């Protein structure tokens, strides 16, 4: 009986012989090294229960601290508000074009973090801010989709999830 599992890189279904379990092998589709799970069921590992509210509150505090730090770095009061004037375009407000560019990056990271935490209302708020200059946002999203290095602030996000969120953001901005 073969061991069936999905490649951690390309997500294709792989069938490996039983004797390959517990070792590394190359994915026949993407040629990346993958771990072949053992055919024998693993013994369950006991874990402590998670207090979801405490964990959620801790993540919110971390997010606020990160967001505050990003805002300090770009020199504004709010990553969405300080960079734009009444028209919603860069250059109307008090920030330089470079600071506005950094704000777009901060908004994209804010969107990614909101999506990762399933805070869909927050993510939608960020989409609305980015719609103020969708072309500028496109210029920032395209390189992120091509780059293998995630933006600062979401380094621990799995690449497939990151790219999925970025594609969803593109979809929301340009239909």
- Count: domains in the chain: 2
Do residues 30 and 57 both lie within one domain? no
Calculate mean pLDDT across residues 125-130: 87
| The pLDDT of residue 83 | 39
Q: What is the pLDDT of residue 89?
A: 41
Query: What whole-number percentage of the chain has pLDDT above 70?
Result: 75
Residue 45 domain-assigned (yes or no)? no
Percent of the chain with pLDDT over 90: 8
Give the predicted TM-score (pTM) of the model: 0.45
pLDDT at residue 19 tops 70: yes
> Domain residues for 100?
52-174
Does residue 69 form part of some domain? yes
On whether both 19 and 87 belong to a single domain, the answer is no
The pLDDT assigned to 28 comes to 93
SS (H, E, C) the chain: CCEEEECCCCCCEEEECHHHCCCEEECCCCCCEEECCCCCCCCCCCCCCCCHHHHHHHHHHHHHHHHHHHHHHHCCCCCCCCCECCCCCECCCCCCHHHHHHHHHHHHHHHHHHHHCCCHHHHHHHHHHHHCCHHHHHHHHHHHHHCCCCCCCCCCCCHHHHHHHHHHHHHHHHC
- Residue 132 pLDDT exceeds 50: yes
pLDDT grade for 32, boundaries at 50, 70 and 90: very high
pLDDT tens for 55-98 read 777 777 787 777 777 767 765 544 343 333 333 444 444 444 44
């Amino acid at each position: 009986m073969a061991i069936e599992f999905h490649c951690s890189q390309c997500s294709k279904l792989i069938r490996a012989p039983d004797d390959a379990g517990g070792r590394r092998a190359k994915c026949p589709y993407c040629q990346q090294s993958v771990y072949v799970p053992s055919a024998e069921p693993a013994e369950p590992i006991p874990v402590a229960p998670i207090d979801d509210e405490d964990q959620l509150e801790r993540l919110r505090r971390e997010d606020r601290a990160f967001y505050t730090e990003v805002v300090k770095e770009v020199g504004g009061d709010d990553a969405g508000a300080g960079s734009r004037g009444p028209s919603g375009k860069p250059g109307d407000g008090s920030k330089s074009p470079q600071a506005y560019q950094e704000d777009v990056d901060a908004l994209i990271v804010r969107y990614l973090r909101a999506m990762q935490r399933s805070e869909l209302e927050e993510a939608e708020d960020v989409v609305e801010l980015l719609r103020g200059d969708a072309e500028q946002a496109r210029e920032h999203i395209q390189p992120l989709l091509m780059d293998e290095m995630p933006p600062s602030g979401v380094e621990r996000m799995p690449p497939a999830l990151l790219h999925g969120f970025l594609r969803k953001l593109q979809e929301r901005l340009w239909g």
